[in-house]
Amino acid sequence: MVLTVDVGNTNITFGLFDADKIALISRLATQRQRTPDQYAIDFINILSLHRIDASKIEGAVISSVVPELTNTLVEAVETINKKVIVLAPGIKTGLDIKIDNPAFLGADLAAGAVGVIAHYPLPALVIDLGTASKIYAVDETKSFLGGMIAPGIEISLNALTETSSQLPTIAMNAPSKACSTNTVECMQSGVIFGTACMIDGMLDRFTEELWEPKTVVATGGLAKYIIPECKHEIIYDNYLILKGLKDIFDRNK
């Protein structure tokens, strides 16, 4: 079995693969002040809860966009397994990275690109809706061409409620119509429908600049709320990054 760990700004997601099948998915809150031992205890407890023998884990691969936590998570995972690969420059991914400075490509973007190459027809556009909202392009030659980054849905919503005294906290639900008639649904319209329109518009622009994609796939914790409201045909794959990490582990073991 292979342990994949995706360290994000909001959550740490780890998936356990048995061959190419996902045997376990679990999430922890990203807490920068925690120690390796504290995270290790979480890992061990989760494995124990699901009756998984840690000795059967062949190795682990970590992608992290939180540099101050990377070594912490490496040390935590090393308590249950000695072989840990950290996705960083120099690790084999199979990607031809064509951005201005390839060393600056985020580990999550690299893993997502590898995941879409391994599992979907190319060329492809990938939408990642997490702490930030991202769209990026991968062509049929397995080249990462670039993308866009916008403030994430929760970041935008928190900024709105924190700076506007009369606006409430809302549930992440789509309202019945775009032109809403109360404060909560007006906010939901702006957040849900507004983000969906942004995605549709950016997909159109990417298509005009690049090519007609054979695949558009969305991932990230908030994608499930937004993608149903988009007009484009979009596949939802919440485990795309973990699948990419598994492929990267196989390339580097």
Identify whether 108 is a catalytic site residue: yes
What are the distances in angstroms from CA 120 to CA 48, 100, 113, 126, 127?
34, 26, 10, 11, 14
CB of 138 closer than 8 Å to CB of 120: no
CA 18 to CA 24: how far, in whole Å? Answer: 9
Q: Tell me, what's the pLDDT at 158?
A: 86
As a whole number, mean pLDDT of residues 72-78 equals: 92
Domains of the chain: 2-86 (3.30.420.40), 96-244 (3.30.420.40)
* Mean per-residue pLDDT of the chain: 93
As a whole number, mean pLDDT of residues 152-172 equals: 85
Q: Residue for token digits 């397995």?
A: 142
Catalytic residue of the set 18, 53, 100, 108: 108
CA 180 to CA 176: how far, in whole Å? Answer: 8
CA 137 to CA 127: how far, in whole Å? Answer: 9
Q: Per residue in 194-249, pLDDT tens?
A: 999 999 999 999 999 999 999 999 999 899 999 999 999 999 999 999 999 999 99
CB of 115 closer than 8 Å to CB of 240: yes
As a whole number, mean pLDDT of residues 138-161 equals: 93
Radius of gyration, alpha carbons of the chain? 19
CA 3 to CA 47: how far, in whole Å? Answer: 11
Structure tokens at 118: 């391994």
Q: Per residue in 121-138, pLDDT tens?
A: 999 999 999 889 999 999
Q: Per residue in 170-191, pLDDT tens?
A: 888 999 999 999 999 999 999 9
| pLDDT over 90 at 101, yes or no | yes
Q: Tell me, what's the pLDDT at 194?
A: 96
| pLDDT over 80 at 81, yes or no | no
Q: Tell me, what's the pLDDT at 237?
A: 97
Please name the residue ranges forming H helices in the chain: 36-49, 67-78, 107-119, 153-163, 183-188, 194-209, 223-226, 240-252
| pLDDT over 90 at 82, yes or no | no
Identify the three-state secondary structure at position 58: coil
Burial class (CB in 10 A: 0-12, 13-18, 19+), 224: middle
Q: What letter represents residue 152's amino acid?
A: G
CB of 214 closer than 8 Å to CB of 122: yes
